[in-house]
Structure 1
Amino acid sequence: MAFALRSSVAFACLVLSQWSLAFSIADIRIEGLKRVSSERVFAALPVQAGQTYTASMGAQTIRSLFELGFFRDVTLEQDGNDLVIQVAERPAIARVVFTGNKIIPDEALRDVLRGAGVAEGEVLLQSTLDRLQTQLAREYEGQGRYDATVETRTRALPDNRIGIELDINEGQIATIGRIRFIGVEQVDVDDLRDAMELTEPGAFTFFSKRHRFNRQRLAGDVERIRSVYFDQGFARVDVKSSTVQLDPQSQTVFLTILVDEGRVYTLGDVRVAGELPPGIDNLDGDVSLTVGELYRQRDVSADAEGLKAVLGRSGFTGANVREVPEFDDQAGTVDLTYLVEPGLKTYVRRIEFKGNEVTADPVMRRNLVQLEGAVADTGKIELSRSRLERLGFFSRVSPSLKPVPGSPDQADLEIEVEEQSTGSFSASVGYSQSSGAVFGVELAQDNFLGSGNNVKFGVNKSDAVQQLSFSFFDPFLTVDGVSRGIDAFYRQTDFQEEGSSSYSIDETGVSVNFGYPISEYSRVGFSGGLLMTDLKLGANLAPGGSAAVGQITTFQTDVAGKESFTELQTGIYWQRSTLNRGLLPTDGSYQRVNFDLSIPGSDLQYYTTGYDGERYFNLAPEKAIRVRGRVAFGDGMGDLSTIPFFRNYFAGGQRSVRGYESNSLGPRSDVASGVASDPFGGNLLITGGVDYQLAAPFVDNPRSNRLSVFVDMGQVYDSRENVDLGELRASAGVAFTWITAIGPLSFSYATPLNEKTGDKTETFQFSIGTGL
C-alpha cells in the first residue's frame, strides 16, 4: 500500500506539472464508486469546491483517500475548472469458507475473524489477511494446539468481489509434561496442585483430559492458586507469572508458576460503618468474623454477602457493602471495615413469569411468599424460588428484580422458569430381577393440565404382581396449603414369585388423606380407608399340609381359620422436608414418622409405625453424601399375637440392602425338618446406608443421573424372638441411576460384607422401566 501511495502521489505531481496554472475549483466529481458511498469519500477530502487547487493539495487528497483503505488506485484529473477524482475500489469479501476445523466450530472462528476485521461485505486488505492468520493461530494456541496451521486462499468473483478459503490443520494438542512451582514455602504444594484444573499426566487423566494444555484453564488455575492462599491468610499473595515452555517435537508443555507468598495476616479491628437505614440500628452482630482469626478472603466475602442479605430482607435490595481493609504489614494484622451503602427501599410493582408454557400462573403464584405491592424481600424471593423448584415442575427457576424506569424505589420481579417433563401417557415394558417381566400402561401427571394436581392411573402386570390403581392429589385444596389425596387400587400378589414363601393375596382398597402445613417445611396428615383382603394358601401350606408353616398355622389359629378380611384403617403422620428438589436432590433432609391403625371392630386388629429419613450433605454442584435410615415396626392387637404375616416387612434387593437377593433377608418359614424354608419376613425392619453421589461425567444433563459408591445395611426381625443387631447384613458397591424417557434405569454392583450360610447373594442387580 505504501508503494502504491508513493507511486500515485508521484503520478499526481507529474500530471499537475503539465497543468499550466493552478485553478479555482468550480466542482469536484468522484468517478468509479460502486459500494463506497460518496458521502464517505467527500468527508475524507482535504479540498473543497471554491478553493484554489495546488500540487501539494493534490498529493494530500490522494494520501487521504488511500488511508480510507477502500481503494487500490486513486488518480486526479482536470476537466475545465472541475476536479475529477478517479478511484478503483478494492474487492469486497463475498464469503468465507472454513475447511479442516473440528475442534473450533465455524461460528466461533467467524467471531475471531470479526475481531480481525474480516466479515462478509467488508473490503479486503492484504494486511487484514496477515492479521487474520495471526489471530487464528493465537486462538488455536489458546486451545493448546501450537502446531496448528492456517493456509489462506483467495478467489476472484464477479462484481469486484472476492472469496476467502481458510484451510486449517488443527494439529496435535499439547500435553503437560511437568508443573513446577517457585517461591512456594509456606503452603503445601499438593494443595495447589489439587486446586488446579490442569494436571500432570496420571492414571485417570485419559478420561478427565485435565493433562491437556489450555490457556483459558491456566488463567483460571492462577486464580484458584490465589484462592488457596487467600483462604490461608496470605492476603497479599502475588502469583507473578506462569511461564509456558513448549517442546515442539513432542508437543509437551512445561509450566513454571512463580509465587510471592508474602506473610500471613490476622484480623485486627472489624466494624461496620456507613449510613444504616431506618429500622436497622446495628449490623455488628451480623458479622461472624472475630479479632485474631486468620484473614480469609472467603470468610470476608461471606460476611459481606450476609450483610447484603440482612439489608435485602428489609427491602434494600440494591444495597452495596464494600470491604475496606487496612493492612499493618509490620504487625501482620488487617483492620476491616464494611462500608454500607443501603440505597433506597424497593417495592415490588408486579410479578411476572416467563417460560411457563404449561403451568398456570395461579399455580406458581400460590407458592410465592413475596407479594406484589409489598417491600421487596430477598429472603422471601429466595424462599419463593426454593418452593417453585421443590415442586418438581421446573429444571430451572431464576428470579430477578428489574428496575422500573422513572421509579427508583420500584422494581418488577421477573421469574424465569424452564419446564421439564412431569408425566406421560405410555405403554411400558421393563424387567426387574425381583419381579420378572413388567408390563404396564400408565397415565401419570404430576402437573395435570398445568393445574399443579397429581393424577395417576395405571394397569401393571408382572410375574409377581397384577395391579389396577388410581390416585389423585391436590396439594392446595385450600389457599392455606391443606392437601387432599384419594387412592384406590386392586392388587394380586404372588409371594412365591416375589422370592418369599408360597402364598398369594388379593387386595382391594380405597383411602382418603389430608395434609396440613404446620411450618414452611413440615406437615401433619391424617388418613382413613377401607381394605379388603382375600388370602390364598397353597395346599401344602395349609395347617396339616406337607409344607405347613408354623407362622401361618399360628395366624390361622388367631383368626379361627378365616381367609377373607375387612379392615377399617386410619393413620397419622408427621413429615418434614428441606430437600432442594423433588428428584435426585443434592442438599437438605427428609423425615417422616407414621402411625397406622386397623380400627377395633375390623376383622384384623394391629398397628404399624415407622420412621424414614435421609440427609444430603452437599459437597459441590451435583455432588453429595447421602445418609439414610428406616425403622418400621408392627404388632397385633386383640386376638392377633403379631401383625398378619402377609403384612410382614422384607429386606434385600435394590431398594434396601443391595448385594442380597430381593426380599431374602430375615426370618425364614418355620417348616418341618426336610422341607425347604423360604424367606418369611418379620414385624421389625431396620435398614440404612451411606452413598457418595455425583453426576456421571459421560451424561450431558447432570440433573438426570447419579453415579454412587455406597454401603448398605439392614435386616428384618421377628420381635417375639431375640433381636440381635449383630445379625445386620451389610454390603458395599457402586450404582448408577439414569432418568430417561422410558423411565428410570438403575444398576448396582455390590459385594456382601458379612454374608452367612444360607444367605442368598446377588452381586449385580438392575431394573429397567420401573420406579426408583
Structure 2
Amino acid sequence: MKLRQLVAAGVMLSSASFANAATSESEFVVEDIRVEGLQRVALGAALTYLPIQVGDELNPFRITQAIRSLYSSTHFERVSILRDGNTLVVRVAERPTISNIIYEGNDDIKDEQLQESLDGNGVRIGEPLDKTVLTSIENGLKDFFYSIGKYNADVTAIVTPLPRNRVDLKLLFEEGDAAEIKQINIVGNKIFTDEELMKDLELQFDTPWWDFLSETRYQQQTLQGDMETLRNHYLDRGYLRFNVNSTQVSMTPEKDGIYIAMNVAEGEQYTISGVELVGDVLGHEEYIEKVLPLTPGELYNQAEVTYTEEFISKYLGRFGYAYPTVTTVPEINDEDKTVKLTLSVDPGKRINVRRINFNGNSVTSDNVLRHNVVQMEGTWLSNGLLESSKNQMSRLTYMENVEFETIRIPGEDDVVDVNFNVKEQPSGSFNAGIGYGDRTKLSLQAGIQQNNFLGTGKQLGLNLSTVSYQRSAQITYNDPYFTIDGISLGGTLGYSEFDGSDFNVIQYNSKRWSVGANIGYPINEFNRINFGLTYANVELYNTGYYEQTEAFYNQFRNNDPESPIDYESYLASISWSRSTLNRGLFPTAGSSQRASFSITTPNSDVNYFKSVLDSKFYFPLSRNQRWSVLARLRLGYGNGYGDINGNEQILPFTENFTAGGADTLRGFENNSVGPRGIQRIPSVSLTGPNGESYPGDPSTDVLNVYQRSQGGNAMALGGVELIVPTPFVDVEMDNTVRTSLFLDVGNVWDTEFNYDKYKDLRINSADGDGLLDYSDWKLYRSSAGISVQWISPMGPMVFSFSRAIKEREGDDAKFFTFNIGQTF
C-alpha cells in the first residue's frame, strides 16, 4: 500500500512540475490547443472537460482549474499541460479499461454481492479503472470480514496490464477461520440469571457437539441484534430504565477466540398509571380504547406498546389514511415507579389510489392477477383491502410470494400507486408415482398438469396411467375467470380400464368412460359454491364372488353369474369450499374447508349418494410462521336410495371409500385399510346318486377372509402435523421445501355389514386373516413419522418415513413411501 501511495504522489508532483513549466513564463493568449495521448477517449469528449478555448488568456489559476477538471472526468490517470509557443499542449495518460474481474478465495461473500459492491464504486467491466478506489474497496472488504470474526482475513487487489491499455482485475481473498466465541458474560444482572438471558440470544458458546445449528462464530451484526433482544427482554417485563451500559469484545492473542462482556443496569419495574388517547382518530375513540391491550395497573410492556401503535396505524389505514403517525409519549414517575402513556395520533391525509401495478409476473398476465385484487383504482386506499388482495393472490398455486408497497406520487400528498411484487413458481407439473407392494409390485403413473396455462390462470391437465392394475386417460379443463364476476367453468373427459386382481382390492375388471361439466359461483373472497353433472358408463366383468358384492350384482344378472354388468349413471353434485389460507402451496396459517354432496338422478341405472367433508386448520407457532401445526379431518358417507325392479339400492362397491397410502394413512399400503372381501363356502352333507351335492347345515359353512380390500361406505380420517424448519435449507426455500412430523389416524367401515351373520363360522383363510367387525367404526388405525415435501421442477415430491402405531390383523404396514406429483 505504501508503494502505491508513493507512486500516486510522484504522479501528482510530475503534473505539478508540468504546470509550473507552463506558467513559469509570462501569461499568453492561446492560439491553438493540442491534446496528446488519447486512445479510447474521443478528442471532442476530452475538450469538453477542458475549460479553455482558443483566444483565452492563460494564467496560473486557469491552468490549475484545467488540470482539476480533466482529473474529475475520471478518464485520465495523468495530466500535463505544456506550452509550445502560443499553442497549449495537453498531454494525458488514460486510465486503463477493465477487461475482466476475477474473484478468488471468497467463500462467505458471493460473487453477485461483490459485484454489487464494485458497481457502487464504479468498478465494472468496460469502465476505466480508478486505482485510488481499490484501496477503499480492500479496506471495506476487510472490515466486513472483521465484523464476522475473521480477523486474519486479507484482501488483495491485483491489476494485470493487458495490450491496448486494458487490465485484468483480480480480488484475491484469504478469509481464514472465523474466531469462535469462547465466553459471553453478562455483568450486573441480579433479577434474571445468565441462563435465562442467554437462551434468547443468537450468539452462543460452549455448545454441545450435537447442537450443530448454534451460532458460535462472532458476528458484529448478530451481537447488535442480541443486545436489542436483551433490551426487549427487560422492557417487556416492566424494566423501563434498563440499559446496556457498555459492551467489550476482546480477542485472544492468536485471534482465534472472542470474549464478550455486556454490562447492564436492570433498574426497577414500572407499572402503567394511565393511558390517554389524544389527536384525531376519526371518531373511533370508543372502539380503539376498548381493544387497546394497555391497561392501567399492569406492568409496562414494550411489545404491547409497539403492537398498539401498529394496530392503530393499520386500523386507520382501513379508511384510506395510509400514513398515520402514532407516537407513544411516556411520562415516567421515578418516585412511585409508574408511567403514564399518551398515544398521540395524527391520521394525515386520506389517500386515493391512482394506479395498481404488477411486477415480477413474467408468465402470468396482469389480468389474471387483477381478478384477485379487491382494492380498486380511483378509490380510497384501504390496508384491509390490500391485505385481502395479497392473500387471494398468495392462494394461487403458481405464486410463491406476494408483497405490496405504496408509492407516493411526486407533487401529490394524497395520491399513491400500489405495486404488487410477485414471485412466480412453476405452474406446470409432471405427475408421476412409483411404489411397490406385495400384490401391486412395481407401479408407475405419469401425467401433465398446467395450473396457469399460457399465463391465463386456466387449468389444463392430461393424466395417463399404465400401471399393472389400471390403464387410464383423463383430460381436465377449468377456467376460473370465465366471467368478470369470477364465475368458473370447467369439464372432464376420462376413460379407464381397471383390474382389481393386480391391486389391493377385491377381484373384478371394469371399463369406464365419463364426461362432465361444472360451474362455480363466488359467494365472497373466501367462499365458493360449485355445481356439476357427470355422465358415466361402467362395464364390470371377470367379477369374483364376495358376500358384500352379491347384492349389487343380483340386481343386474338374470341367472347368469358370468355375464358382464353394464350400467349408466348421471351424477349431479354440489360443493362448497372456503379458504383463508395464506398461500396456495405450503400454507402456514388459515384454514380450508370443502363439503360436497353428489347423487345420481332417478333415471340412472344405479341410485346412490355420497357426501365428503375435508377440513384443514393451520396454527402458526412463531411470528415468522416457520413453526406451525396442521390439524386435518376428512369424513365421508355414501349409500343407496330407493329401489329398482324391487331391488333395494346400495352404494356400488366401485364407489366405496378406501384408506392407506400417502394422502390418507401413511405407514399402510395403498387401499389396504378397511373391510376386506369375504367368501362363504356352503358345507356339503349329502351326495346324490349322480354325484350331485346338497347343502348341509348353514352353521357349518366355512368363511374365507381375503387380504384384498373391499372398501366401505363410511370414512373418518384425521391427523396432526408439526411443521418445522427443514434442516440445512435456507429460509428462502420454505415455500418449496417442507418438513413435518405427523400423526395419522382413521378408519374405513361398512355400515351395511352384518357381523353377527358370520361371527360364528369357521375361518379358512389362505391369507391367514381373521374376521373383524367391518361395521365397527372404532377399529381405527394410526401411524406416526416424518414427511418431506419438495416442489421440484418435475412437480411435488413427497418422501415419508412412518411407523404404524395401531394396526389390525391383516394390515400391510409400510415404513417408506415415495410419490411424485401429489401433496396433501
TM class by shorter chain equals 0.7 to 0.9
Please state if 1:691 is matched with 2:721.
Answer: yes
Name the CA shift for 1:164/1:449 in 2 (closer, same or farther; >3 Å). Answer: closer
Q: Aligned with 1:712: secondary structure? A: strand
Shift of residue 156, structure 1, vs aligned partner: 7.7
> Is 1:682 equivalent to 2:734 in the alignment?
no
Secondary structure of 1:708's aligned partner: strand
Alignment of 1:484-563 (within 5 A): 484-538=489-543, 541-542=544-545, 549-557=546-554, 563=565
Return the match for 1:268 from 273, 292, 296.
273
Q: Does 1:611 align with 2:620?
A: no
More deviation in 677-686 or 237-246? 237-246
**Equivalent residue for 1:19?**
none
The amino acid across from 1:748 in the alignment is S
Selected match of 2:232 from 201, 214, 227: 227
Q: For residues 640 and 618 of structure 1, do their structure 2 counterparts lie closer, same or farther at Cα, with a shift above 3 Å needed?
A: farther
SS at match of 1:298: helix
Matched, 1:337 2:342: yes
| Alpha-carbon offset, residue 770 of structure 1 | 5.4
Q: Which of residues 575, 587, 595 is equivalent to 2:597? A: 595
Secondary structure of 2:606's partner? coil
Select which of 629, 632, 639 maps to 1:635.
639
Select 1:186's aligned residue among 185, 188, 191. Answer: 191
Match for residue 709 of structure 1 among 738, 741, 746: 741
1:251 aligns with 2:271: no
Question: Superposed, which structure 2 residues align to 1:464-475 within 5 Å?
Answer: 464-475=469-480
Q: 1:646 to 1:156 in 2, by over 3 A?
A: closer
1:752 aligns with 2:782: no
TM-score with structure 1 length normalisation? 0.82
Q: Which residue of 2 aligns with 1:546?
A: none
Which amino acid is the alignment partner of residue 270 of structure 1?
V
CA contact (8 A) 2:152 2:255 kept: no
Deviation (angstroms), 1:627: 0.6
Encode CA deviations 1:201-237: one digit per residue, 9 max, x unaligned: 5457675362233222222222223233333333333
**How is 1:17-32 mapped onto 2 (pairs within 5 angstroms)?**
none
Query: Comparing 719-728 with 732-741, which one deviates more in the overlay?
Result: 719-728
Contact 1:436 1:464 (8 Å CA) reproduced: no
Partner residue of 1:653 out of 641, 661, 665: 661
The amino acid across from 1:683 in the alignment is N
Structure 2 letter corresponding to 1:587: A
Q: Deviations 1:685-742 (Å, cap 9, x if unpaired)?
A: 1111111123524456321121111111111122245655552111111111111122
Give the aligned CA root-mean-square deviation in angstroms: 4.6
SS, match of residue 208 in structure 1: coil
Tell me how far apart the structure 2 counterparts of residues 558 and 99 of structure 1 sit (CA, whole Å): 80
Distance across 2 between alignment mates of 1:431 and 1:124: 60
Partner of residue 435, structure 2: 432
Contact 2:428/2:795, CA 8 A, preserved across alignment: no
> Residue 676 of structure 2 corresponds to which residue in structure 1?
668
Conserved 8 A contact 1:714-1:729: yes
Q: Distance in 2 between matches of 1:414 and 1:580?
A: 19
How many residue pairs match? The answer is: 745
2:466 to 456, 461, 464: 461
Q: What residue in structure 1 maps to residue 449 of structure 2?
A: 444
Cα shift readout 1:304-348 (whole Å, capped 9, x = no counterpart): 121112211111112221222222233333222221111211112
CA contact (8 A) 2:452 2:458 kept: yes
Paired residues of 2:151 and 2:178 also in contact (CA < 8 A): yes
Q: Against the structure 1 CA distance between its residues 628 and 204, is the aligned structure 2 distance closer, same or farther, given a 3 Å change threshold? A: farther
Partner letter of residue 279 of structure 2? G
Return closer, same or farther for 1:404/1:670 CA change in 2, 3 Å cut-off: same
Amino acid at match of 1:200: F
Pairing partner for 1:739 from 786, 791, 808: 791
Change (3 A) 1:486 1:162: closer
On the 8 A contact 2:539/2:566 being kept in 1, the answer is yes
What's the counterpart of residue 578 of structure 2?
576
Amino acid at match of 1:758: G
Letter in 2 for 1:739: I
- Corresponding residue for residue 56 of structure 1: none
Change (3 A) 1:657 1:355: same
Work out whether residues 733 and 748 of structure 1, in 8 Å CA contact, stay in contact via their aligned partners in 2. Answer: yes
Residue 623 (str. 1) matches residue 627 (str. 2): yes
How many Å apart are 1:367 and its aligned residue?
Answer: 2.3
Letter in 1 for 2:489: R
Distance 1:690 1:770 in 2: 19
Indicate if the aligned counterparts of 2:281 and 2:316 stay in contact, CA closer than 8 A: no
Structure 1 contact 465–492 (Cα < 8 Å) conserved: yes
Could you say what secondary structure the match of 2:199 adopts? helix
Distance 1:216 1:354 in 2: 31
2:550 alignment partner, SS class: helix
User: Within 1, Cα distance between the matches of 2:516 and 2:169?
Assistant: 74
Query: Using the alignment, how far apart are the partners of 1:110 and 1:724 within structure 2?
Result: 68
Alpha-carbon deviations, 1:419-458, whole Å to 9, x = none?
Answer: 332226x6x6641336665556645322233332222233
Using the TM superposition, name which of 553-562 and 715-724 deviates more.
553-562
Aligned AA (1:585): P
- Match of 1:291, SS? coil
Letter in 2 for 1:238: N
For 1:236-247, list aligned pairs within 5 A: 236-247=241-252
User: Could you list the runs of 5+ residues in structure 1 that have no partner in the other structure?
Assistant: 17-21, 54-59, 543-548
Letter aligned with residue 706 of structure 1:
R
Q: Per-residue deviation at 1:662?
A: 1.6
Tell me how far apart the structure 2 counterparts of residues 486 and 160 of structure 1 sit (CA, whole Å). 68
Q: Which residue in the other structure is 2:814 paired with? A: 762
Q: 1:651 to 1:100 in 2, by over 3 A?
A: closer
Q: Hey, what's the Cα distance between the residues in 2 that align with 1:135 and 1:271?
A: 48
1:3-402 equivalences under 5 Å are 99-105=104-110, 108=113, 121=128, 124=131, 134-150=139-155, 167-187=172-192, 189-200=194-205, 202=207, 207-208=212-213, 210-249=215-254, 251-277=256-282, 283-402=288-407
CA deviations on 1:647-681 (whole Å, 9 max, x unpaired) are 22111221111112221122222234474512222
Q: What's the offset of the Cα at 1:375?
A: 1.3
Question: Distance in 1 between the 2:82 and 2:450 partners?
Answer: 82
State the secondary structure of the residue aligned to 2:785. strand
Q: Distance in 2 between matches of 1:294 and 1:659?
A: 50
Give 2:632's aligned amino acid.
Answer: R
The residue matched to 1:553 in structure 2 has which SS? helix
Is contact 1:666–1:715 with CA below 8 Å preserved after alignment? yes
Match of 1:405 among 399, 405, 410: 410
Alignment identity in percent?
Answer: 31
Q: Secondary structure at the match of 2:706?
A: coil
CA contact (8 A) 1:116 1:131 kept: no
Separation in 2 of the partners of 1:318 and 1:751? 54
Q: 2:609 and 2:77 mapped to 1: Cα distance?
A: 97
* Per-residue deviation, residues 459-511 of structure 1 (Å, max 9, x unmatched): 32212222221222222344333333322322222233331222233222223
Cα offset, 1:244, TM superposition:
2.8
Amino acid of the structure 1 residue aligned with 2:411: G
Deviation at residue 158 of structure 1 after TM alignment:
8.8
| Structure 1 residue matching 2:591: 3-state secondary structure | strand
* 8 Å CA contact retained: 2:204, 2:214: no
Q: Distance in 2 between matches of 1:632 and 1:24?
A: 106
